[in-house]
Amino acid sequence: MVTDQAKPIRVMLIDCRPLVLMGLHDLISARKPTMEVSGQATTYTYALDLADQVRPDVVFFSFFPDALDPLEVVAELTRSADMKVLVLKGLYEAVPVAQAIEVGARGIVLAEDPTESIIQAIINVHHRDIGRDRAWAGGLSGYAATARIPLKCNQEQAKQAKLTLRERELIRAIVEEPSAKYMSIAERLGISEHTVHNHLSSIYQKLDLINRMDLLMYALKHGLTSSDEPPESTWVELDRNQSHSPLRDA
């Protein structure tokens, strides 16, 4: 008998662009048996009907012109607690991110993100705690009206206290240049791209985030860029101290 843990994550794709659908389909299908594409739709009307039929675990959702309101479609798709929506957006696409999360989306994935980050986002959101998701969604509900909200939650303060100086500097670098590639950020901070990815994984875990878009919104919302700058040599010195580690830049 197949257990729930052994079952593949069933992913449904919603996008009006055939090339995007093809790319996502190939990306997800290559990860079998971890995940598989359960269906794809190019209109919201068909997407709602298809979702009722195939009952996917995760829905990759894109905003595009259609007869139906996309936010209403997201809300309808997420009425079932078992169906989780990930919004796919381009870095320069105008998408109502805060409203999408407020009506039920569990996260945002940038089309420019590395393929492994997109795959990890699917896995993370599939296994993510529902109660925590809804608390995060509630916290984002006012994001569209204000770019920065003062931090008042002791729970969030406790999370942020776990961040190291290097992780905080990485967060600031990402907020200052949201479109910068990881290699560019690594060069700017004097570390390797491998080290950037390692620190990002640690940041996501400490702050209960999914990906870079989550981090960008969280940092702006909670003012993580407003703290004093650490010494300029922090990154280089600490990386040099680890230069003999067998795990460095493996």
**What is the rounded average pLDDT for all residues in the chain?**
77
149 is a domain residue? no
Confidence at 154, pLDDT banded by 50, 70, 90: low
Q: Domain holding 169: CATH number?
A: 1.10.10.10
Cα gap 136→156, rounded to integer Å: 11
Which is more confidently placed, 143 or 48?
48
Single residue among 140, 165, 181 that ends a domain in this structure:
140
* Whether 31 and 134 share a structural domain: yes
Question: Could you tell me if 42 and 136 lie in one domain?
Answer: yes
pTM of the predicted model, to two decimals?
0.56
| Burial class of residue 129, CB neighbours in 10 A (0-12, 13-18, 19+) | exposed
Q: DSSP states of 191-249 as a string?
A: S-HHHHHHHHHHHHHHHT--SHHHHHHHHHHHTTTSSPPPPTTHHHHHHHHTTT-TTTT
Q: Are residues 168 and 230 in the same domain?
A: yes
The pLDDT assigned to 226 comes to 56
Q: Report the pLDDT value the prediction gives residue 74, as an integer from 0 to 100.
A: 93
The span from the CA of 241 to the CA of 94, in Å, is 43
Whether residue 9 is predicted with pLDDT greater than 50 in this model: the reply is: yes
First and final CA of the chain: distance in angstroms? 39
Pair 135, 207 in one domain: no
Residues 121 and 192 in one domain: no
Q: Looking at the structure, do residues 201 and 134 belong to the same domain, yes or no?
A: no
Read off the pLDDT of each residue in 36-40 and give the average, rounded to a whole number. Answer: 96
In this structure, the answer to whether residues 88 and 162 fall within a common structural domain is no
Report the C-alpha gap between 171 and 193 in whole angstroms.
Answer: 15
Q: What is the mean pLDDT of residues 227-240?
A: 36
- How far is Cα 132 from Cα 139, in angstroms, rounded to an integer? 11
The total of structural domains in the chain comes to 2
The CATH number given to whatever domain includes residue 50 is 3.40.50.2300
Share of the chain above pLDDT 90, in %: 30
The pLDDT confidence band at residue 231, using thresholds 50, 70 and 90, is very low
Range from 108-117, 155-164, 234-243 carrying the lowest mean pLDDT = 234-243
> According to the model, what pLDDT value does residue 26 have?
96
Q: What is the DSSP letter of 48?
A: H
Greatest pairwise CA separation for the chain in angstroms: 59
Domain boundary residue, one of 106, 140, 174: 140
pLDDT surpasses 80 at 40:
yes
pLDDT over 60 (residue 228) = no
Q: What pLDDT score was predicted for residue 27?
A: 95
Helix axes of 234-241 and 165-176: crossing angle, nearest 10 degrees: 130
Range of the domain at 228: 154-241
Out of 36-40, 116-120, 217-221, 230-234, least confident range: 230-234
Domain match, 45 and 132 both = yes
Q: Which of 140, 171, 186 is the last residue of a domain?
A: 140
pLDDT at 187 over 80: yes
Looking at the structure, tell me whether residues 28 and 86 fall in a common domain: yes
Identify which has the larger pLDDT, 144 or 205.
205
**pLDDT > 70: what percent of the chain?**
77
Q: What is the pLDDT of residue 178?
A: 78
* pLDDT tens, position by position, 79-136: 877 889 999 988 778 888 778 888 888 888 888 888 888 898 898 888 864 433 333 3
Q: Is 195 inside a domain boundary?
A: yes
Residue 90: per-residue pLDDT? 84
Residue 51 is predicted with a pLDDT of 94
